[in-house]
């Protein structure tokens, strides 16, 4: 009994000792962190005039020089951080001058050596800084690191560093292929990383759109959202017929967003595609493209099994003038099931906007729709808008 009690006391003392050691360690880390922060602020003030000097000559004919004397590790860290901050902000000659300063100061060389460190945190920090300094000479070593790593947050850091530093499109392709080989749903993240490159976007996008790997094609399509690249629009036309569902859906969305002149057979093919994403994108675009000849197809799409296709079809019909609105009224009066409910919901939305139109053209268009509505229903609609029709029971979306 006494031996057990003694062991319990020993265990308690050991635990108390470990807790005390942990608290002391935390305090030491906090004190060290505060000291580093104070030292950083002191060095920023010390080199304030130097930073003003460099920034003043970034856009002139004079090439800025490094500060005189040998820099301490802390000074190098502060100056390197400021240069990297400016590299992200500036382009052209200003960025090139900053990159040259980083090389002259030995920052790039030191971080390339740090990639071989036994400490993982030092390797990752070095990779991050090399990407910030656009160190093209570090790309092969960064690729080697990435090929040896399992997927994780560190992989993304290295991938971004490669994207920023690469000077060959093949290096970008290899990095993206490795990123997609982890079999994760990261196409949007890969597209974001792709946009970090300093290579020509149009040329790179064209190459990736023609790549046999559908994953790389999808990354390129996602990266094109928000990017005005007219040169790659012809390539989208070929991808509209791709056998890969995801690729075809993204290509259709981008192709239609470029406001193309669609032929009737193309419209019919898109509206009858077996992928609901394609039908939905086509239905949504037809109203914006004012394709009045597609009204019969949109009317038929009100009966589609997918909620998105039905509602985008109703939205487009509402945008196609009196004829489109009359088609909605006909579907609401004579249709059944989801088609009737979708049409009624869209009509109610349109008629509830009475008095909200400020321009004469909008008022005239509304009054024309009101006449059509009265001809079919004979009474003013209730202003209260209910829930979206057809959501319940249809979970294909």
Which pLDDT does position 205 carry in this prediction?
A: 81
Residue 80, token pair as written in the block: 């390197």
In this prediction the pTM is 0.68
Which pLDDT does position 236 carry in this prediction?
A: 64
Burial class (CB in 10 A: 0-12, 13-18, 19+), 61: exposed
Question: Quick one: DSSP state of residue 390?
Answer: T
Which pLDDT does position 387 carry in this prediction?
A: 47
Q: Report the candidate in 298, 361, 302 with the shortest Cα–Cα distance to residue 333.
A: 302
The contacts of residue 373 (CB under 8 Å, 6+ apart) are 325, 329, 347, 351, 381
Dist CA 229 CA 358 (whole Å) = 36
Dist CA 233 CA 237 (whole Å) = 7
Which pLDDT does position 232 carry in this prediction?
A: 59
Dist CA 299 CA 57 (whole Å) = 64
Coil, strand or helix at 170: helix
Which pLDDT does position 99 carry in this prediction?
A: 94
Which pLDDT does position 353 carry in this prediction?
A: 72
Q: Mark the ranges of the chain whose per-residue pLDDT is less than 50.
A: 381-397
Dist CA 355 CA 174 (whole Å) = 58
Dist CA 127 CA 161 (whole Å) = 6
Which pLDDT does position 391 carry in this prediction?
A: 47
The contacts of residue 352 (CB under 8 Å, 6+ apart) are 381, 383, 385
Burial class (CB in 10 A: 0-12, 13-18, 19+), 205: buried
Q: What is the CA angle 370-376-377, rounded to 5?
A: 85
């Amino acid at each position: 009994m006494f031996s057990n009690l003694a062991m319990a006391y020993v265990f308690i003392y050991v635990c108390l000792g470990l807790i005390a050691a942990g608290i002391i360690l935390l305090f030491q880390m906090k004190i060290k962190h505060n000291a580093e922060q104070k030292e950083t602020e002191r060095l920023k003030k010390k080199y304030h005039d130097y930073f003003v000097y460099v920034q003043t000559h970034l856009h002139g004919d004079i090439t800025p020089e490094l500060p005189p004397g040998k820099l301490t590790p802390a000074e190098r860290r502060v100056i390197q951080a400021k240069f990297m901050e400016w590299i992200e902000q500036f382009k052209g000659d200003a960025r090139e001058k900053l990159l040259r300063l980083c090389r002259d100061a030995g920052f790039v060389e030191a971080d390339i050596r740090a990639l071989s460190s036994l400490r993982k945190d030092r390797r990752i920090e070095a990779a991050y800084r090399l990407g910030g300094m656009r160190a093209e000479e570090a790309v092969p070593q960064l690729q080697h690191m990435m090929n040896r790593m399992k997927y994780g947050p560190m992989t993304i850091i290295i991938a971004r560093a490669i994207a920023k530093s690469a000077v060959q499109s093949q290096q970008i392709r290899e990095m993206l292929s490795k990123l997609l080989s982890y079999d994760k749903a990261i196409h949007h993240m890969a597209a974001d990383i792709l946009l970090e490159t300093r290579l020509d976007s149009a040329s790179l996008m064209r190459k990736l759109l023609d790549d046999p790997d559908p994953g790389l094609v999808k990354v390129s399509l996602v990266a094109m959202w928000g990017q005005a690249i007219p040169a790659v629009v012809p390539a989208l036309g070929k991808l509209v017929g791709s056998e890969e569902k995801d690729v075809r859906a993204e290509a259709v969305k981008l192709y239609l967003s470029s406001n193309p002149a669609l032929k009737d057979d193309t419209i019919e093919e898109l509206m009858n595609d077996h992928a609901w994403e394609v039908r939905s994108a086509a239905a949504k675009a037809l109203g914006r493209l004012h394709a009045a000849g597609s009204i019969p197809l949109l009317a038929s799409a009100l009966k589609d099994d997918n909620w998105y296709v039905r509602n985008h079809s109703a939205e487009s019909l509402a945008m196609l003038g009196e004829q489109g609105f009359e088609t909605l009224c006909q579907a609401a009066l004579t249709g059944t099931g989801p088609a009737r409910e979708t049409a009624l919901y869209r009509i109610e939305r349109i008629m509830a906007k009475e008095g909200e139109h400020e321009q004469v053209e909008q008022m005239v268009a509304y009054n024309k729709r009101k006449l059509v509505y009265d001809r079919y229903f004979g009474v003013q609609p209730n202003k209260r808008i209910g829930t979206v029709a057809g959501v319940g029971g249809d979970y294909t979306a």
